[in-house]
């Protein structure tokens, strides 16, 4: 594996004049960057080269009329011409950002530009060598050695503890492209161009600056045969309400190319809740209850096959409205599984009183801590509907127009309660449930509900106090649209933990590396 650090130097500075009638030509404030390769905070700078007398003044002043430029670590010393830096050609800075002051005095003062002064900044960039990642593997579903990779799964491993808010990762097909930052590839939906094994290059930069960066290799491997079980936990129908039962829904999906002969998934429920039983379980599967949930032992799950298990839970009357409850699942026998990111899933819901059966909700709730939400993370939206009319609904349609602050190119459908067709044109999503025959609440309350849920990223550039709204229109047969609430997501610096008694249920569905 090759690994190489690239360094470049940006030289910027300014000259100003104290107590002069007219200043010399302006230069602006200039900054000199150096890379802290070994992490000790010390770097050597040649001040004579970085801040030469003639850089800004050659066109109007003669350097031969001045004494050599002297350099200082404080403005006061520069003004008083005291404590000049002794070895300006080999100045050792031990600050990640240090201001250097300099002055030049005319040999024969004549009242015109007798003393020139200026200042510039020495910035040491704390670059740390990134980690060379292990190969990223995926399944060959079409027999040609080509697959689609989500390269962001490797970001955490490459950064090796570095703050992903300060360091940026970009991917390239060739080392030359990585060096020049040309032809960056899609880091979430990349299709390999060399069958079965391809090496690409990850470039790490500090705060989007090109002054210091590092490049490491990443191997992409497409396997002819592979195991890959995905577990996903969501909810169906009503959220938890004191004194009522509610349903969690567990999806077991074989996303690999081999039949998974057997395996175990563990479900763990929140201590505030009580477990009733499981519903619609494959008769060949075994459910074993534990002290805080159960395990399901499954067998013979075919490629692309999905099994759904409904989990009946009870919310005791002693639980306060506004409490957060979290249930989770984990694939426990995953030694041969190629992708660990979909081996876990979690569902967090708010205990509610009354609720709107037709609504839009997002998993994180109305506020998201900005520093905890990265470019790898998604927003998870669920649009729920319920037939509260007097007869069954033959057809149902959901229209959801994405706000401009949502990046429609990152949209991915995760699941739905019923079969449907999805039509997406730009930022407009339309789900059509033809012949759903959805019973009314009075006819069959448990089966009068439906939902769709999906994930999507905010548009690049979101920040603190940005608010992202989302709403939908739901059509039952030929009736007028039922307008949902407008769910607003705000990015904040701190989160105030408070819940209104009529709070809408919120939930989160995530698998690593999402938060």
Domain coordinates in residue numbering, the chain: 3-125, 145-223, 354-510
Report the pLDDT value the prediction gives residue 374, as an integer from 0 to 100. Answer: 81
Report the pLDDT value the prediction gives residue 382, as an integer from 0 to 100. Answer: 87
Report the pLDDT value the prediction gives residue 322, as an integer from 0 to 100. Answer: 84
CATH for the 354-510 domain, from 3.30.70.100, 2.60.200.20, 2.60.40.740, 1.10.260.40: 2.60.40.740
Report the pLDDT value the prediction gives residue 232, as an integer from 0 to 100. Answer: 87
Report the pLDDT value the prediction gives residue 37, as an integer from 0 to 100. Answer: 67
Report the pLDDT value the prediction gives residue 56, as an integer from 0 to 100. Answer: 54
Report the pLDDT value the prediction gives residue 321, as an integer from 0 to 100. Answer: 83
Residue ranges, the chain, pLDDT below 70? 1-31, 37, 53-60, 95, 126-128, 207-211, 354-356, 494-515
* Burial class of residue 143, CB neighbours in 10 A (0-12, 13-18, 19+): exposed
Contacts of 295 (CB under 8 A, 6+ apart): 264, 265, 266, 267, 287, 288, 332
DSSP letters, 310-373, are: EEEEEE-TTSPTT-EEEEEEEE---TTBS-GGGSEEEEEEE--SS--SSEEEETT-SEEEGGG-
DSSP three-state, residue 49: helix
DSSP three-state, residue 508: coil
Report the pLDDT value the prediction gives residue 486, as an integer from 0 to 100. Answer: 94
Report the pLDDT value the prediction gives residue 501, as an integer from 0 to 100. Answer: 36
Report the pLDDT value the prediction gives residue 356, as an integer from 0 to 100. Answer: 67
Report the pLDDT value the prediction gives residue 85, as an integer from 0 to 100. Answer: 94
- Per-residue model confidence as pLDDT tens digits over 237-284: 778 989 999 999 999 989 888 899 999 999 999 999 999 999 999 999
DSSP three-state, residue 478: coil
CA dist 231 and 265 (Å) reads 8
Report the pLDDT value the prediction gives residue 389, as an integer from 0 to 100. Answer: 87
Q: Would you tell me how many other CB atoms lie within 10 Å of the CB of residue 321?
A: 17
Report the pLDDT value the prediction gives residue 355, as an integer from 0 to 100. Answer: 66
Report the pLDDT value the prediction gives residue 288, as an integer from 0 to 100. Answer: 96
Report the pLDDT value the prediction gives residue 63, as an integer from 0 to 100. Answer: 78
Instruction: Assess contact for 487 and 469: CB atoms under 8 A.
Output: yes
Distances (CA, A) of 387 to 159, 296, 359, 382: 49, 33, 13, 17
- Per-residue model confidence as pLDDT tens digits over 389-438: 888 999 999 999 999 999 988 898 878 889 999 998 889 999 999 999 99
């Amino acid at each position: 594996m090759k690994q190489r650090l690239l360094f470049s130097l940006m030289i910027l500075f300014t000259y100003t004049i104290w107590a002069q009638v007219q200043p010399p030509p302006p230069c602006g404030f200039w900054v000199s960057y150096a890379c802290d390769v070994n992490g000790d905070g010390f770097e050597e700078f040649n001040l004579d080269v970085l801040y030469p007398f003639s850089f800004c003044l050659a066109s109007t002043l003669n350097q031969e009329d001045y004494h050599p430029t002297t350099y200082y670590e404080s403005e006061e010393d520069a003004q008083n011409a005291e404590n000049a830096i002794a070895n300006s050609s080999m100045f050792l800075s031990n600050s990640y950002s240090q201001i250097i002051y300099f002055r030049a005095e005319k040999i024969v003062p004549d009242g015109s530009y007798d003393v020139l002064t200026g200042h510039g900044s020495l910035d040491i960039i704390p670059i740390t060598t990134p980690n060379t990642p292990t190969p990223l593997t995926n399944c060959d579903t079409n027999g040609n050695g080509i697959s689609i990779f989500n390269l962001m799964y490797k970001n955490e491993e490459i950064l090796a503890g570095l703050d992903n808010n300060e360091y940026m990762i970009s991917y390239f097909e060739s080392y030359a492209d990585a060096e020049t930052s040309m032809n960056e590839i899609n880091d979430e939906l990349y299709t390999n161009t060399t069958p079965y094994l391809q090496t690409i290059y990850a470039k790490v930069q500090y705060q989007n600056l090109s002054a210091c960066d590092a490049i490491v290799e990443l191997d992409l491997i497409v396997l002819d045969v592979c195991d890959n079980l995905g577990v996903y936990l969501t909810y169906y129908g009503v959220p938890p309400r004191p004194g009522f039962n509610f349903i969690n829904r567990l999806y077991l999906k074989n996303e690999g190319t081999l039949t998974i002969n057997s395996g175990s998934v563990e479900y763990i429920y929140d201590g505030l809740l009580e477990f009733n039983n499981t519903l619609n379980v494959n008769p060949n599967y075994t459910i074993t209850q534990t002290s805080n949930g159960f395990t399901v032992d499954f067998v013979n799950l075919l490629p692309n096959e999905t099994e759904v298990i409904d989990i009946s839970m009870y919310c005791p009357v002693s639980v306060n409205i506004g409490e957060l409850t979290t249930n989770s699942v984990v694939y426990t026998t995953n030694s041969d599984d190629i992708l660990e990111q979909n081996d876990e899933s979690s569902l967090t819901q708010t205990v509610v009183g009354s609720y709107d059966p037709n609504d839009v909700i997002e998993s994180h709730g109305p506020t998201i801590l900005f520093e905890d939400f990265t470019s790898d993370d998604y927003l998870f939206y669920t649009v729920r509907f319920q037939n509260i009319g007097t007869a069954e609904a033959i057809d149902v349609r959901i229209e959801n127009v994405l706000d401009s602050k949502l990046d429609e190119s990152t949209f991915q459908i995760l699941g739905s309660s019923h079969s449907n067709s999805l039509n997406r044109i730009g930022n407009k999503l339309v789900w059509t449930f033809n012949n759903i025959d959805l019973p009314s609440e009075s006819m069959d309350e448990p089966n009068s509900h439906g939902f769709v849920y999906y994930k999507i990223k905010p548009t690049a550039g979101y920040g603190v106090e940005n608010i992202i709204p989302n709403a939908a229109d739901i059509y039952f047969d030929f009736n007028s649209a039922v307008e949902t609430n407008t769910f607003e997501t705000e990015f904040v610096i701190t989160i105030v933990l408070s819940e209104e008694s009529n709070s809408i249920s919120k939930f989160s569905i995530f698998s690593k590396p999402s938060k």
